[in-house]
Amino acid sequence: MRKEMLLWQAMRVTYPQVKWLFGDYGVRGPNTAEDVISPNTNGKIRHTIGQSYYIVRGHSVQQPGKGAQMYKLAKTVVDSIHYMGKDFSWGDARILACSKEEFKGNSTDWIAIDTSHHMAWVVAEVEEFELKTTASVVSV
């Protein structure tokens, strides 16, 4: 559940005279903390959808198949009703390339890919919400 977006939308409707800004956060990489190694990082793709996330999760990259599991995970996203197409964002184009086994990536790449899709989604979502909210205030 994307609680921050739901809260922002509720505040925007409840107090339309206030210009509430929406801010979001991203995922922190498994190797970003000093001297902390995360050998059991698992393959996963986080895909922002509507009011929640579609998360396709694999297994530890230390197990057989290691990073190659990303091909199947990407194909799962591409074959789902949630995939927006390669032109939606750079991240969506990378997911498609991975599903075709043209690119595998590592955990840092996948955070960038997830974030690319998420940012494109949020910008479109906020824009659409603002247009609807403005239209309903004007028509009252």
| pTM of the predicted structure, to 2 decimals | 0.83
pLDDT value of residue 90: 97
- Provide φ and ψ at 132, rounded to 5°: -65, -45
Assess whether pLDDT exceeds 50 at residue 140.
no
**pLDDT digits over 69-91, tens only?**
999 999 999 999 999 999 999 99
Alpha-carbon distances, residue 131 vs 10, 17, 23, 28, 138 (angstroms):
15, 15, 18, 32, 10
Q: For the residues of 58-93, what is the DSSP string, one character each?
A: EEETTSTTGGGHHHHHHHHHHTSTT---TTS-HHHH
Nearest to 51 by CA among 133, 115, 129, 130: 129
pLDDT tens-digit map of 36-75: 556 677 889 999 998 899 999 987 767 767 778 999 999 9
